[in-house]
Structure 1
Amino acid sequence: MTQTPQPPALVHAGTLSVLIGDPIDVGPTPEGHRRIIPITGGTVSGPRLNGRVLPGGADFQILHTPELSQLDARYAVETEDGAIISVDNAAIRSGSAEALGRIARGEPVDPGEIYFRCAPRLRSSAPQWDWVNRTLFVGTGERHPDRVVVHVFAVG
C-alpha cells in the first residue's frame, strides 16, 4: 500500500539580522549584472541559534533579469559560547521590476512584494555545534535598506 508522502517539518532555528554596506557594482557580465554587498555585522537570535554576525563577509549577487536575482552570501557567526559557524547562503529573490529596482537603489520594499527563499548551509568545528553540520536548513528573507533579515528553519 502506497501512502501519500508527508512534507518534512520545519523548526525555527533562529533569525539573522545581517547588516550590509554600500553595494559594489561590478556591472553587466555575460552571466548577468553582478553586485557585491559587504556584510558589516549583525545579530542572530532564536530558539537554537544566538550570537553575532561577524564583519567581513559578502553577498555576491547576479541580477539575471529585472525580476530575478540570484544571491550567494558567505559570512561567519560567532555563537554566544564563542564557537564560529560558517554560513553559505544561496538564495533566489524575485518580484516586479519596480520592486527589485527599489531594492537595488537601497529603498524600503514591503517583504510581501518579494519572493525571497534561501538554503543556508551551516558548518562548525565546535563539538557542541556539530548538529548544524548534519542538518539541512531552508529560510525566508527580507531585504531592508540597511540589513537583510533571514529566518532560518531546520528541516525535520
Structure 2
Amino acid sequence: MKKTKYLTQAAMIAALYVVLVEVFKPFSYGIMQVRIAEVLTVLPFFTPAAIPGLTVGALVSNIIGPYGILDIVFGSLATLIAAYLSYKMPKKVLVPIPPILVNAVIIGAMLYYIFLGTPDEMGLLPIMGWVGLGQLIACYGLGYPLMSILEKYKKNIFS
C-alpha cells in the first residue's frame, strides 16, 4: 500500500508538471523564463515522492521541449538535484532555495552554451541571473504560497 501511494503521488506530480509546462509553454523556455511548473518544486517538503515525480516531469517536458539532448540531460539532472536538496531543507522557508540556485547555475550555463554566438547571446552571469529571477518568481512568488495552502491539507493529501 505504501509503495503504491508513493508511485501514485510521483506519477501525479510528474503528469501535473508536464501539463503546466505545456499549458504555459511560451513562458517555460528561454533565457527569460518563468516555468510555472516550478511551483511544484516545493512538494518535496511534503513527500519524498516529489523527487522522482519532478524529475520525470522535467524529463518528459525536456524531451518534447526545444533544446534537445542538453536539456534532457542537464535540465532533468538540475531538477533531480534541486528536488533532493529541497527535501533535505530543515526549514519551510528554505525549501524554494535549491531550485532557484541549482537552475540558475545549471540551466543558466546550458542556455549560455546553446545561445553562444547567436544574436541573442548574453554573458553567462546575466543568463544565470535571468533564470534565477524566473525561478524566484515561480518558487517563492507562487510556490511558497502554495506550501502555506497545502500545509492546511497535508494530512489529507500526503499522509
Higher relative contact order (Cα pairs below 8 Å, separated by 6+ residues)? 2
- Would you tell me which structure has more helix in proportion to its own residues? 2
Q: Which has the larger radius of gyration?
A: 1
Question: How high is the TM-score relative to the length of structure 2?
Answer: 0.30
